[in-house]
Amino acid sequence: MTVENSGSTSGSTSGSSSGISKVGVLGGGLMGSGIAEVAARAGVDTVINEVNEKFRDAAQQRVQASLAKSVAKGKTTQDDMDAALARLSFACDLTSVADCDIVIEAATENEAMKLDLFRQVGEVLTQDDAILASNTSSLQIVRLGTASGRVEHTVGLHFFSPVPLMKLVEVIPSLATRDDVLERARSFVADTLGKTAIIAPDRPGFVVNALLVPYMFAAIRMLENGHASAEDIDTGMKLGCGYPMGPLALIDNVGLDTCRAAGAAMYAEYKDAAYAPPPLLNRLVDAGFLGRKSGRGFYTYS
């Protein structure tokens, strides 16, 4: 979860000390397609694996549209776009990632689903030193790694949305992650993708969301208690604190369900009321008002 900025990251050429020449991405939604785009633009062969042909085709269209938008804005050239697309492939069979040097899971923030996915991927990987990574924003990396049977080779790689623009990636080792695996993952992020890497603890929320979620939830409680309107809360934080986006608009962009899941995971860990999802957030999610992706959250979108 994050605030959009106007920067760009084109990445760098592959061949860093990470030794990673092929990337697998599990899930081609907003985050997964963004991760795959960044990897392909950095010169790395990349495959997106989806659960069925419909989602696979949607992922392909999403990446193509993003690259075309970058060309239209003059942030990349047509030749670079064509080269990136040539490095991308799309599949709906987990064996497509079997020979990858790193597999990055970017599926829905559902622990049972992710645990099952890690178990399946752990069974198909053919390279002993392949790295398994999760883009989770709140789940414990050690649990995912244990499910895969490759806990020493598992890390968290928490990207921020939109991935092609946002420069930060949280790199999260578990207690069991080998030092050389952590360094290869960090090198992949920093040297290959051209992102800024910070090392975060394997605790729900890591660094950024541990600070961000209480801020967003405080804004919801302020709205819920009638202290100010959504518009005034967001305008106040933008113009008074210099934030590029207000907290309620940010929640709509991230997804209300994603924010609730992150808060619930942190509350279960810390028992701190600041992380408890506010009642209004629960009601909106239960009603299907998930933000931009559903057309309605704290604001309505056409």
- pLDDT of 19 reads 87
Query: The domain containing residue 242 runs over which residues?
Result: 209-286
Q: Of the listed 137, 138, 161, 253, which one is catalytic?
A: 137
Pair 218, 253 in one domain: yes
Nearest to 210 by CA among 162, 255, 170: 170
Kindly report, residue by residue over 68-118, the tens digit of the pLDDT.
999 999 999 999 999 999 999 999 999 999 999 999 999 988 899 999 999
**So what's the pLDDT on residue 68?**
96
Instruction: Say if residue 43 is in the same domain as residue 120.
Output: yes
Is-contact 161 292, C-beta < 8 A?
no
Same domain, residue pair 218 and 194 = no
209 is catalytic: yes
End position of a domain, from candidates 199, 223, 247: 199
Q: Residue 42: inside a domain, yes or no? A: yes
Q: Do 228 and 176 share a domain, yes or no?
A: no
pLDDT band (50, 70, 90) for residue 18: confident
- pLDDT for the residue numbered 16: 52
Please report which confidence band the pLDDT of residue 13 belongs to, taking 50, 70 and 90 as the band edges. very low
- Residue 15 resides in a domain: no
pLDDT digits (tens, 9 = 90+) for 167-185: 999 999 999 999 999 999 9
d(CA 10, CA 112) in angstroms, rounded, equals 34
Over range 185-197, report the average pLDDT: 98
137 is catalytic: yes
- Do 189 and 57 lie in one domain? The reply is yes
In a domain, 129, yes or no: yes
Residue in the structure block whose two tokens are 């081609």: 28
231 and 188 inside one domain: no
Q: What are phi and psi of 169, to 5 degrees?
A: -135, 125
| CB atoms closer than 10 angstroms to residue 116 | 13
Q: How far apart are CA 99 and CA 130, in angstroms?
A: 8
| 234-248 mean pLDDT | 97
| Catalytic residue (choose from 14, 135, 209, 253) | 209
* CATH, residue 213: 1.10.1040.10
Find how far residue 41's CA is from the centre of its chain. 17
CB-neighbour burial class of residue 93 (10 A; exposed 0-12, middle 13-18, buried 19+): exposed
Given the residues 158, 161, 187, 253, the one annotated as active site: 158
CB 173 within 8 A of CB 199: yes
Residue 84 belongs to a domain with what CATH number? 3.40.50.720
- Is 214 within the bounds of a domain? yes
pTM of this prediction? 0.88
How many independent structural domains does the chain possess?
A: 2
